Amino acid sequence: MIKSFLILISFQILLFSSQQIILVVSDDFNSSKGLLECYENGKKVFKSIEVNIGKNGLGWGLGELELTRNSYEPIKKEGDKKAPAGVFKLISVFGYKEKQNFTMPYIHASKNLICVDDVRSKDYNTIIKSETKSTESFEYMRREDHQYELGIVVQHNEDAIKGRGSCIFMHVQKEKDAPTAGCTAMSLAELQKIISWLDAKKNPILIQIPKSSAEEILRLYPKLSDSKLLQTKSR
């Protein structure tokens, strides 16, 4: 019991002491667009940018902690074309080049690399080599449209709970105003800048929320107090 408690406390300290935070805020759960800011040790880096999120907006995902959810708010599910709302670790990056000089773990998106979205598969929500796949539904990580030319793996639904959503990334936008099937997208230039900044040793996380959750995030992450995205009329 004591050991489990200490592990939980250590985990929370690690999560809330994250030195690098990518913050994405949308107007509400139905919006397919959001604004993105990057913070390191409470200081904003780069200019705010507009990003595309899910075609059907946001739904509460499975992340590192459970934020307050009202009963009428949507939950992220497989195939709903919603991006996950919550707090998520950023665990690795990927791209078409065989090697990259990043300070994050790098995955080469070769022609036989896939991400499994088949809820019946034992490999659900996992990136694997296609030669070992035991699935009928998946997406190739090397796409002809170059949306995965560079990307960040968002650790959503780590326990691979069936039907709660899979293969969540931050990747290159299809077009300037094109919504996604559930990821967060931006221009290649902006993505390159962010990935070059990310450092695995600084425990980077993604906080992606509707504006209605701003006050809760400010209570949990007071270092974000300067963010204009989190300002509310009541403050």
pLDDT in tens, 145-181: 999 999 999 999 999 999 999 999 999 999 999 999 9
Burial environment of residue 235 by CB neighbours within 10 A (0 to 12, 13 to 18, 19 or more): exposed
Q: Which tens digit of pLDDT belongs to each residue from 40-53?
A: 999 999 999 999 99
Q: How confident is the model at residue 233 (pLDDT cuts 50, 70, 90)?
A: low
Task: Check pLDDT > 60 for residue 10.
Answer: no
Task: Check pLDDT > 80 for residue 121.
Answer: yes
Rounded Cα gap, residues 7 and 90, in angstroms: 20
Instruction: Please choose, from the candidates 9, 17, 13, 19, the residue with its C-alpha nearest in 3D space to the C-alpha of residue 204.
Output: 19
Rounded Cα gap, residues 161 and 133, in angstroms: 18
Average pLDDT, the chain: 91
In DSSP notation, 129-171 reads EGGG---S-EEESS-TT-TTSEEEEE--STT--TTS----EEE
Tokens 């667009």 map to which residue? 33
Would you give the end-to-end CA distance of the chain in angstroms?
Answer: 40
In sign, the C-alpha dihedral spanning 46, 50, 55, 57 is positive
The predicted pLDDT at position 234 comes to 52
The predicted pLDDT at position 171 comes to 98
Average pLDDT over residues 68-83: 97
Question: How many other CB atoms sit within 10 Å of the CB of residue 105?
Answer: 11
In sign, the C-alpha dihedral spanning 2, 15, 55, 231 is positive
Task: Check pLDDT > 80 for residue 110.
Answer: yes
Q: Which tens digit of pLDDT belongs to each residue from 173-229?
A: 999 999 999 999 999 999 999 999 999 999 999 999 999 999 999 999 999 999 999
Question: How many other CB atoms sit within 10 Å of the CB of residue 232?
Answer: 10
The predicted pLDDT at position 130 comes to 83
Task: Check pLDDT > 80 for residue 131.
Answer: no
Phi, psi of 68 (to 5 degrees): -65, 130
Q: How confident is the model at residue 7 (pLDDT cuts 50, 70, 90)?
A: very low
Phi, psi of 28 (to 5 degrees): -160, -175
